[in-house]
Amino acid sequence: MFNRAEIIHQNFQKKVASEKLPLPRIQRDLGALTPEDFIDLFETQVMSRLLDLRARELKKDNLCYYTIGSSGHEGNAAFAKAFRVSDMAFLHYRSGAFYIQRAKQKSGSTPLYDMLLSFMASKDDPISGGRHKVIGSKELYIPPQTSTISSHLPKAVGAALSIPKSQDLNHEGELPRDSVILCSFGDASANHSTAVGAINSASWVSYQNLRLPLVFFCEDNGIGISVKTPNDWIRQNFSTRPGIKYFECDGLNLIDVYHTCQQAEHYVRLRRKPAFIRMKTVRLMGHAGSDVESNYHSMNHIQETESNDPLLHSARLLMDHSILSSSDILDIYRNTEDRIKHVSNEVISKKPLQKIEDVAASITACTTCKPKPPVVSQEKRQALFEKEWPKLESPAHMAKLINWGLNDIMLQYPNTLVFGEDVAEKGGVYHVTDNLKKRFRSKRVFNSPLDEQTILGGAIGLAHNGFLPIPEIQFLAYVHNAEDQIRGEAATLAFFSKGQYTNPMVIRIAGLAYQKGFGGHFHNDNSIAVFRDIPGIHIAIPSNGADAVRMLRTCVREAHENGRVCVFIEPIALYMTRDLHEEGDKEWTKPYPAIEEESELGEISCHGKADIAIVTYGTGTYLSLQAQKVLKEKHKINTEVIDLKWISPFNSKLLFEKLEGKSHMLFVEECRKTGSFGEAVLSELLQEISRREKAGQKINLPKINDLLAAADCFIPLGPAATAGLPSRESIVESTIEMVKTK
């Protein structure tokens, strides 16, 4: 009684055989849609439906691992047919029919086989290698998505922005210059902040008469799992957005969907303006196989929805237009069922991933690596820097050195783009991007809306078209509004595509503690825990300007050559710092590194040589060097300050080599103690000591270790801003206390 999948399956055959089919909600002529086109679309709908049914059958035998299907949404086949294969598509998870229809347009494609491989988590799955059921294909211009809600919308905006930029900058990207970007999602997802922000950003761009060839395709089935969408909410919410052309179609009527999508296609491709299409449809068989719809819907409601099965409506239209008879329709349905069973039986024999090494192999995979561009000539650099050129020979503070570094990077890498809040005319809150817009123009250096999800998502989309984005997040705490764009989107793309897609980017973030004049957790945030557990990303935190330049160059090269996501955190407190020990000593200003100088990933710097080690990074290095002098001159204690610089990759082996023969180690951590990097380093050190003990090896690592970290408290405004943070004095005191322990 409650096996709705089987009931829907049987009802379709019975109603077609008896020709008791629902009446169309609207009347449309075939127009440009030929009978052969209509049959092709209907076959796609049938394929998508029967894949859903087969997935549920296989789930009973624990052979299938994903049952969120596309049933009710099969009208999106017409969406696919109205656009080109090369129109990159960021898809909703109910886009099975879209994928099949697009695959049909590409010779040699095997959509049924590929999707069944994905359902069964086979390592032969051509897109994810069995890591997740994703709808994706490099050849079909479909970046893989998992069960995303709406986190793919910001990157669709970025990809659309990349197309006119590639034309303006004569950039040879991945996408044709007359292509458009497609983005589908559900009505419930339209309420998510990522969707709201992305659609607002598209409107913001278009309102300024900037080109943005993008189609939002909202598949409105009226419900999100069990939460009803208010009647006409999508129309009322999105039909009057400035700069976005609104279209609406009946998802139960293939003819209407196709012609509406054709109109939108012509508008967007010609006008280079965004469009929003609402496809009103239904959802069949609940949210997923585990969803018991009768818990929140009456049986009358369920049966009424099932009576509006899109396949029944398509069958009615096929017969009304004298294209196919009822027996022809049943032949297509049953032959397709047999075909899918045959293919699935073959797929069953394919092996899934088993070992973690195989699963993790694609985290940093890259099949589209690029060579590093040549260093720009001295003459071109001199012409760029103009009056600033002689200053490059004089020591400068970190903010100025990073600024010079960005200039050289943008000159050497013509595919780089710098953008974020206030980065253009203003040059950033701390003037780190000063003069960049003047030198590289607004096509490469531009302001964004005040929306971190749009900034990071836009970077992902721009990278899809061969650009190397360098987005700026104004303050470290601001990234928390958009961290899923790094965690759930950028960092997972190589993983879910076996390296066929990557998200090269360098995310510059001003942050950490010790700022003067700022307070509160939004401007003086001292936690990097949000990044540290994301597999595959690089995290760099320089302590001085020269290292900052070298490390930034490394990050850009890694992004360009290997498609890596790099998080580059710049300690705000050290931006303008010139002096180290005394006012006017200028010991913290550094010369600008030679153009060929880079940092090695995982590189560690040591200052001094002693039996006692102070291990740190960022502002901790600056304070520890101050403490080092006090300890030596006032307390006759020699210390060695070890600057880790690279939080990821963390080279523990190299650190242990540096710690060989040391008696004591103090880890100085400007971030909050709980969840700090210092905790992780101490844990690894203890594990290494334990491993050597078990192996009977000589232990030559410090057994006396301590952690001096920031208090587990947010930072206030005013004189108490540094009260819970390590200081020169507290480092001195902690070192003295530690040395007392023999």
Q: Tell me phi and psi for residue 345, to 5 degrees.
A: -65, -35
Task: Tell me how far apart the alpha carbons of residues 58 and 61 are, in angstroms, rounded to a whole number.
Answer: 5
According to CATH, the topology of domain 4-355 is Rossmann fold (3.40.50)
pLDDT at 487 over 80: yes
Task: Tell me how far apart the alpha carbons of residues 222 and 225 are, in angstroms, rounded to a whole number.
Answer: 10
Give the side-chain half-sphere CA count within 13 A for 637.
23
Return mean pLDDT, the chain.
94
Task: Tell me how far apart the alpha carbons of residues 580 and 586 are, in angstroms, rounded to a whole number.
Answer: 7
Predicted local distance difference test score (pLDDT) of residue 368: 84
**Same CATH topology for 4-355 and 378-574?**
yes
Q: What residues have CB less than 8 Å from 331, skipping those under 6 apart?
A: none
Predicted local distance difference test score (pLDDT) of residue 517: 66
Q: Tell me phi and psi for residue 487, to 5 degrees.
A: -70, -50
For 363-410, what is each residue's pLDDT tens digit? 999 998 888 899 999 999 999 999 999 999 999 999 999 999 999 999
Task: Tell me how far apart the alpha carbons of residues 669 and 667 are, in angstroms, rounded to a whole number.
Answer: 6
Predicted local distance difference test score (pLDDT) of residue 504: 96
Task: Tell me how far apart the alpha carbons of residues 563 and 149 are, in angstroms, rounded to a whole number.
Answer: 25
Structure tokens at 681: 């380093």
> What does DSSP say about strands 416-420 and 468-473: parallel, antiparallel, or unpaired?
parallel
430 contacts 399 by C-beta, under 8 angstroms: yes
Task: Tell me how far apart the alpha carbons of residues 46 and 24 are, in angstroms, rounded to a whole number.
Answer: 19
Question: H-helix or E-strand containing 308?
Answer: none
Segments of 148-304 assigned E as strands: 181-186, 214-220, 223-224, 227-228, 245-250, 275-280
530 contacts 484 by C-beta, under 8 angstroms: no
CA distances from 612 to 169, 205, 609, 632 (A): 54, 56, 9, 12
Nearest to 180 by CA among 267, 278, 254, 78: 267
For 207-262, what is each residue's pLDDT tens digit? 999 999 999 999 999 999 899 999 999 999 999 999 999 999 999 999 999 999 99
For 511-540, what is each residue's pLDDT tens digit? 999 887 666 667 888 999 999 999 999 999
For 44-95, what is each residue's pLDDT tens digit? 999 999 999 999 999 888 888 888 889 999 999 999 999 999 999 999 999 9
Q: What angle do CA 731, 732, 734 make, to 5 degrees?
A: 65
Nearest to 102 by CA among 72, 138, 64, 131: 138
Nearest to 539 by CA among 675, 654, 646: 646
Handedness of CA 457, 458, 459, 464 (dihedral sign): positive
pLDDT at 16 over 80: yes
Structure tokens at 614: 């102070």
Predicted local distance difference test score (pLDDT) of residue 63: 87
Q: What percent of the chain has pLDDT over 70?
A: 99
293 contacts 3 by C-beta, under 8 angstroms: no
For 125-160, what is each residue's pLDDT tens digit? 999 999 998 999 999 999 998 767 899 999 999 999
Name the β-bridge partners of 643: 605, 616
Give the side-chain half-sphere CA count within 13 A for 251.
28
Amino acid in the structure at residue 328: D
Q: What residues have CB less than 8 Å from 517, skipping those under 6 apart?
A: none
CATH class of 605-740: alpha beta
Predicted local distance difference test score (pLDDT) of residue 165: 97
Region of poorest pLDDT, from 139-143, 145-149, 491-495, 588-592 = 145-149
pLDDT at 692 over 70: yes
Segments of 20-176 assigned E as strands: 89-90, 135-137, 142-145
Give the side-chain half-sphere CA count within 13 A for 457.
30
Per-position b or e across 690-701, b if 16+ CB within 10 A of its CB: eeeeeeeeeeeb
pLDDT at 467 over 90: yes
Predicted local distance difference test score (pLDDT) of residue 737: 94
Domain boundaries, the chain: 4-355, 378-574, 605-740
Predicted local distance difference test score (pLDDT) of residue 226: 92
Amino acid in the structure at residue 232: D
CB atoms within 10 A of CB 17: 12
* Whether domain 378-574 has CATH 2.60.40.10: no
Task: Tell me how far apart the alpha carbons of residues 239 and 247 are, in angstroms, rounded to a whole number.
Answer: 8
pLDDT at 103 over 60: yes
pLDDT-derived band at 631 (thresholds 50, 70, 90) equals very high
Question: H-helix or E-strand containing 218?
Answer: strand 214-220
CB atoms within 10 A of CB 536: 19
Angle between helices 35-60 and 111-119 (to 10 degrees): 20
Task: Tell me how far apart the alpha carbons of residues 638 and 331 are, in angstroms, rounded to a whole number.
Answer: 86
> What does DSSP say about strands 245-250 and 275-280: parallel, antiparallel, or unpaired?
parallel
pLDDT at 27 over 80: yes
Predicted local distance difference test score (pLDDT) of residue 519: 64
Name the β-bridge partners of 119: none
What string of DSSP letters covers 58-99?
Answer: HHHTT--------TT-TTHHHHHHTS-TTS-EE--TT-HHHH
pTM score: 0.95
Predicted local distance difference test score (pLDDT) of residue 202: 98
Q: What percent of the chain has pLDDT over 90?
A: 88
Q: What angle do CA 380, 384, 387 make, to 5 degrees?
A: 120
737 contacts 711 by C-beta, under 8 angstroms: no
